[in-house]
Each structure stands twice: as structure tokens, then as C-alpha cells.
Amino acid sequence: MEENNESQDVETIAGIEKLLNTVILVTAKDGRKFRGKLTSYDEHMNMVLEDTEELTEKGPIKHKFVLLKGGNVTDIST
């Protein structure tokens, strides 16, 4: 059973590798959404977005960079 989990993680990491240096939209568990360029990630799916906008009801909030913990991410799209 462990092997299946490991292969799923590898597929997920391989998928995010294709998004490196592209603008992505990330949704966090608390519902917040961030749009920025994916510049770094690790094996835990922690990621760094640069030139990021946090999308809020009152309008976007600009951030130079955002560090997102992989366990708090529910969705990644382009």
C-alpha cells in the first residue's frame, strides 16, 4: 500500500514540475486564492509564488512573493 502512495506523490510532483515558471492559481483550504508565478516547490508540495495577487472580495492584494504550505493547498490550476 505504501508503494501506491509514493507513486501518487511522484505523479503529483511531476505534474507540478511542468508548471514551474508559469502563472498558476492556487486555492488554499481556508478558501483564499493566490495567482502568481510558481518559482519553487519541494517534495511536500510547499511552493513559492512570485509577483503574486491574493484575490479577495475587495480586490487583489499584491505580494512580492508568497510561501504556501503544501498541506494547505486544495487546488492548483493555470
Determine the structural domain holding residue 7 and report its residue range: 2-77
Averaged pLDDT, groups of 10, the chain, 78 residues long? 45 82 96 98 95 97 97 93
Q: Please tell me the total count of domains within the chain.
A: 1
CATH code for the domain in which residue 50 is found:
2.30.30.100
pTM: 0.82
Asked if residues 27 and 33 have their Cβ atoms less than 8 Å apart, the reply is: yes
pLDDT of 11 reads 54
pLDDT of 3 reads 44
pLDDT of 13 reads 76
Burial of 47 (0-12, 13-18, 19+ CB in 10 A): buried
